[in-house]
């Protein structure tokens, strides 16, 4: 018969508690879907803290948090949505020097993407003027920051009115990329993070939209006020801001903040 000493019992209890600890729930903008999973895995290996991400349009995630969804950390594709949560008392910056403003963790880049087997010329600003461009995919500008950036860029080029009837609107930036990849759109104004995935890098080509054509896509983070894992959420946020992870962001199509 196996006898359990108090020390063994205590160790088993601690181990059980560790396994029972719920993972951090991260509400993450859709442009992070190609980027974040391996980083969360590295974070788990470094700290022992598990984290799981839900990827959707920033507006949809904001609404879920407003409705009480049990997220711990929100990584938006802009500053406006997390700022809205701060102002409503639903999120904070975890003790950062500026408690009224989301913490900027990266900046996004808008690109024009098309498949290599397209009947159209390679991606460029001239492609947007090509009459053979029948369907242009963008994320919903009312819900996704990259969609707003796409509309701003087209407006700056005086092309929005002409292209509006040909725009195919996706729920988020990942779906906009899928529209082009599947052939349901001829080209798409999507995130650089999407185009650098192995699948799209192999099947298509992209052109970086000049940044002066649209407002900067500064991406902001906040900690959800009702989290029960505040210390772990802050640890993950600090990890995302660390130099090694910022370098990974740069390799994945995001502009690091330092």
Is the residue at 102 inside a domain? yes
pLDDT at 5 (0 to 100) = 53
Question: pTM for this one?
Answer: 0.89
- On whether both 129 and 66 belong to a single domain, the answer is no
Give the domain range for residue 147: 110-208
Count structural domains, the chain: 2
pLDDT at 16 (0 to 100) = 40
- On whether both 13 and 137 belong to a single domain, the answer is no
Work out the burial of residue 181: count CB atoms within 10 Å of its CB; fewer than 13 is exposed, 13-18 middle, 19 or more buried: buried
- On whether both 93 and 167 belong to a single domain, the answer is no
- On whether both 86 and 166 belong to a single domain, the answer is no
- On whether both 72 and 141 belong to a single domain, the answer is no
pLDDT (tens, 9 = 90+) of the chain, 258 residues, equals 444 555 544 444 444 444 457 999 999 999 999 999 999 999 999 999 999 999 999 999 999 999 999 999 999 999 999 999 999 999 999 888 889 999 999 999 999 999 999 999 999 999 999 999 999 999 999 999 999 999 999 999 999 999 999 999 999 999 999 999 999 999 999 999 999 999 999 999 999 999 999 999 999 999 999 999 999 999 999 999 999 999 999 999 999 997
- On whether both 90 and 114 belong to a single domain, the answer is no
Question: Angle between the 230-241 and 243-252 helix axes, to the nearest 10 degrees?
Answer: 60
Question: Which CATH number do you get for residue 51?
Answer: 3.40.190.10
- On whether both 236 and 197 belong to a single domain, the answer is no
- On whether both 103 and 222 belong to a single domain, the answer is yes
Cα dihedral across residues 67, 69, 72, 74: positive or negative: negative
Is the residue at 2 inside a domain? no
Is the residue at 240 inside a domain? yes
Matching residue, tokens 């082009």: 180
pLDDT at 95 (0 to 100) = 83
Is the residue at 258 inside a domain? no
Is the residue at 36 inside a domain? yes
Is the residue at 1 inside a domain? no
Is the residue at 166 inside a domain? yes
- On whether both 175 and 228 belong to a single domain, the answer is no
Is the residue at 37 inside a domain? yes
């Amino acid at each position: 018969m196996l006898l359990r000493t108090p020390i063994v019992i205590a160790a088993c209890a601690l181990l059980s508690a560790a396994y029972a600890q719920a993972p951090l729930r991260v509400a993450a903008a859709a442009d992070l879907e190609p980027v974040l999973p391996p980083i969360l895995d590295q974070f788990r290996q470094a700290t022992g803290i598990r984290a799981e991400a839900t990827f959707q349009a920033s507006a949809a995630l904001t609404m879920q948090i407003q409705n009480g969804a049990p997220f711990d950390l929100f990584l938006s594709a802009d500053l406006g949505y997390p700022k809205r949560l701060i102002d409503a008392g639903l999120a904070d910056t975890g003790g950062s020097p500026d408690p009224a403003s989301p913490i900027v963790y990266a900046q996004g880049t808008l690109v024009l993407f098309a498949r290599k087997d397209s009947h159209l010329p390679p991606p460029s600003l001239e492609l947007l003027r090509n009459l053979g461009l029948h369907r242009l995919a963008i994320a919903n500008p009312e819900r996704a920051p990259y969609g707003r950036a796409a509309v701003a860029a087209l407006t700056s080029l005086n092309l929005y009115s002409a292209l509006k009837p040909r725009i195919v609107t996706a729920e988020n930036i990942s779906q906009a990329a899928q529209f082009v990849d599947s052939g349901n759109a001829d080209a798409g104004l999507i995130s650089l993070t999407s185009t650098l995935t192995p699948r799209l890098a192999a099947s298509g080509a992209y052109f970086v939209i000049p940044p002066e054509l649209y407002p900067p896509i500064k991406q902001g983070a906040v900690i959800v006020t009702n989290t029960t894992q505040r210390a772990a959420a802050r640890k993950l946020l600090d990890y995302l801001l660390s130099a090694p992870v910022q370098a990974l962001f740069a390799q994945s199509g995001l502009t690091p903040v330092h």
